[in-house]
Structure 1
Amino acid sequence: MTVPQPTATTRWRCTLCGNLTRSSKVVEYVHLDLAGEPTVEERQVVSETIESVRCRWCNAVDQVELVDRPGTDS
C-alpha cells in the first residue's frame, strides 16, 4: 500500500487511536524565554526516509491518513 507523504498543509493521523504521527526525525534547539515560551532556534533533519508508516502509540499498520494542519486553508 502506498501512503501519500505529508505536505506543508497536511500531516499524518492514525485512524485507529487518533494520534498525530511525525514523518521525519529531527534535532531541534529550543530556547525558552523567562515566561517558559519555547522558540525553535535551529532545526536539523536527521532522516526523512519513509519505509513504512506505523502508529507510534497503538502500533497500528496501514491505519494512517492525511489530515489538514491547523491554520491552513486547504
Structure 2
Amino acid sequence: MTVSPPTRGTRWRRTLCGGLPRLDVTRSSTVVEYVHHDLAGEPRTGEREVVGETIESARCHWCNAVDEVELVDRPAAGS
C-alpha cells in the first residue's frame, strides 16, 4: 500500500492515536546523480535530482500503527 504524500496545504495525522509528528517513513526514490571520481578513485556526488518518489509506508513512532495516516489541512499562519 502506498501512502499519499502531504502537500503545502496538508499534513499527516495518525488515525489511531491522533498524533501529528513522529512518523517513520519508508520511501523509494529514483534519482539522477552526477558522480565525480577524484584521482584516488573516491566518488563524490555533485548534483542530485529526484525524478520519482513513492512513499511505501508510514509507521507511527509511538503506537507502531502502519499506514494508519490521513491527510488533514495545515492550520493557517497566525491561528
TM-score bracket, shorter-length normalisation: 0.5 to 0.7
Aligned length: 49
- The sequence identity of aligned pairs, in percent, is 73
- Which of the pair has more CA radius of gyration? 2
More strand by share: 2
What residue is the counterpart of 1:71 in the other structure? 76
Structure 1: stretches of 5+ with no match in the other structure = 24-47
Q: Which runs of 4+ in 1 moved over 4 A?
A: none
Write the letter of the residue equivalent to 1:18: G
TM-score of the superposed pair, with normalisation by structure 1: 0.54
- Within 5 A, what are the aligned runs for 1:16-31? 16-21=16-21
Distance in 1 between the 2:3 and 2:54 partners? 13
State whether residues 12 and 22 of structure 1, in contact with CA within 8 Å, keep that contact through their aligned partners in structure 2: no
Task: Report the RMSD for the aligned CA atoms in angstroms.
Answer: 2.7
Q: Which runs of 5+ in 2 are unaligned?
A: 24-52
